[in-house]
Amino acid sequence: MKNPVIRPRRLRSTPALRRLAGETRLHPADLVLPLFVREGTSEPLPIRSMPGVVQHSIDSARRAVTDAAAAGIGGVMLFGVPAVRDATGTGATDPNGILNVATSAIVAEVGADLVVQTDLCLDEFTDHGHCGVLDASGRVDNDATLERYRDMALAHAAAGSQLLGLSGMMDGQVAAVREVLDENGHADTAVLAYSAKYASAFYGPFRDAVESTLEGDRRSYQLDPGNRREGVREALLDIDEGADIVMVKPAGGYLDVLSDVAAISDIPVWAYQVSGEYAMIEAAAANGWINRRRAVEESVLSIRRAGADAVLTYWAVELATWLNEERTR
């Protein structure tokens, strides 16, 4: 038998060759850490369905972001867990509300070293758990919600947020927020549009993390998991409205959508490796069914390979630490 002329295995034969021929790489600067800050606690509180993740106090959040900066990750995305909620989520716009107070504290701590980002959505702050204001029939009122988002944008920018994560999936939210920021002296505050955010089962543990009060579901405003083209359409609309970055969420189950969005976008594309993706790997690893470190690395690498310029992941600091160790060997 004649030896084959083409032997792709040549470039896999040694660690050095594999490294040199690698197409996709992970770097700490491409990682963003989601962080939960809870009102009224003096110590970090474990989240039952997310082993290793906690609801932070202000002080423990300061320590966590200091560690994150030392690891060299790109940023942190802050979520507030308030003690009191109401129908319109007034805590979201209160300068003394937990998210705005935490933002100011964290910007003061690491604002020069990390991009401090905030989740601009009402679901953590409403007593009904929806991402917007409800009308008389109990449906989310898109345009009334935009007014609340405009107020939130100003509150977050005043607290020092450098990038606003618009995760509510209201029509026109990017245009509404961009306009109010520009009109009020915050032209440099960036907007991250959660453009292709799907109504996913993989958000379950996140509901524990923010102590969600949601009844029902969010299918009237989040995307249907079976819709691929719609994700691209939403991203194009947000780009046209002035988004600085677009997002696909969840990441692992929507790599096709992520690839599609990356192919058409002329601005950065991010992806969020959500709580359920995290919890599944942690659970399988705890049972000894998979190699935890390899699964974590491969899962994030796959998201980058599909086209994400940056990844929000609860493993951001741990993964960055591993990457730093590898580079210093």
Q: Is residue 249 among the annotated active site residues?
A: yes
Residue 249: C-alpha distances to residues 168, 198, 324 (Å): 12, 6, 27
Catalytic residue of the set 56, 156, 178, 197:
197
Is the distance from CB of 105 to CB of 56 less than 8 angstroms? no
Residue 81: C-alpha distances to residues 84, 151, 206, 264 (Å): 9, 19, 11, 36
Distance CA 222, CA 167 (A): 10
Ramachandran sector of residue 278 (left: φ over 0; alpha: ψ -120 to 50; beta: rest): alpha
Catalytic residue of the set 167, 249, 272, 296:
249
Q: Is residue 2 among the annotated active site residues?
A: no
Q: How many CB atoms lie within 10 A of CB 286?
A: 11
Is the distance from CB of 68 to CB of 113 less than 8 angstroms? no
Helix runs in the chain, H state only: 15-20, 58-71, 98-110, 142-159, 173-183, 204-209, 229-241, 255-264, 275-286, 292-305, 316-327
DSSP, collapsed to helix, strand or coil, labels residue 216 as coil
C-alpha closest to that of 202 among 139, 254, 166, 130: 254
Q: How many CB atoms lie within 10 A of CB 305?
A: 15
Q: Which residues are catalytic?
A: 197, 249
